[in-house]
Amino acid sequence: MVLEQKALAFQPNAIFFMAHQREEEAAVKYLADRISVGADLPYEDLMALTQRAGVEAGTTKGEAERHLNPFRTEILSLTYRHIVKVSRAHDILPVWIFMPTLEDPLQEAEIVHLTGVAEEAGFIVLNLADAYENQDLESLVLAYWDKHPNAKGHMLIAEELYRKLQEKRQEIPLFQHTASQ
């Protein structure tokens, strides 16, 4: 919805969708929240999925989450496919970037699963899972109670993002080169 209601007005050439370990969980929680408050779902495929899951308006958020959880991959896939479809329809390059958090240990199988869902949806995928490789993770957080990256953590993310963009420069033509380069 943010893409359609806000981002398109900026007429972007590309969108960078930042993803983390908990993509499926976040999609379920958001959808359950919207249903529990009786919000309209403007997407027919999500409405059909919620009906299949046995979730209807007025269901408590916790109950909706329990019913939707078995459909978590399908919810995420529908979401990703819609983003790609809207992006392509507006000549916007959809780029999905996996950025690891410093809160939970990375599970390689989960990263592989999420990147697969994104690729299948049609995103160009950049996986930054190695951004913190060979680092003391505690030295990269703002504080013991705030696991967001500090300046060093952001520097590592930026360097890894730049490397991944360079690797995919044929697919993501963001850098203009002059004849003298």
Tell me how far apart the alpha carbons of residues 165 and 97 are, in angstroms, rounded to a whole number.
Answer: 10
Mention every residue, 6+ apart, whose C-beta is less than 8 A from residue 159: 131
Mention every residue, 6+ apart, whose C-beta is less than 8 A from residue 122: 80, 81, 84, 85, 88, 94
Provide the CB-side half-sphere exposure for 149 (13 A, CA).
15
181 residues of the chain, pLDDT tens digit each: 889 989 999 999 999 999 988 899 999 999 999 999 988 888 899 999 999 999 988 889 999 999 999 999 999 999 999 999 999 999 999 999 999 888 876 688 989 999 999 999 999 999 999 999 999 989 999 998 998 999 999 999 999 999 999 999 999 987 655 444 4
Q: DSSP class of residue 102?
A: S
> Tokens in use for 123?
């995103």
Q: pTM of this prediction?
A: 0.89
Q: What angle do CA 10, 171, 8 make, to 5 degrees?
A: 15
3-state secondary structure labels for all residues of 105-136:
CCCHHHHHHHHHHHHHHCCEEEECCCCCCCCC
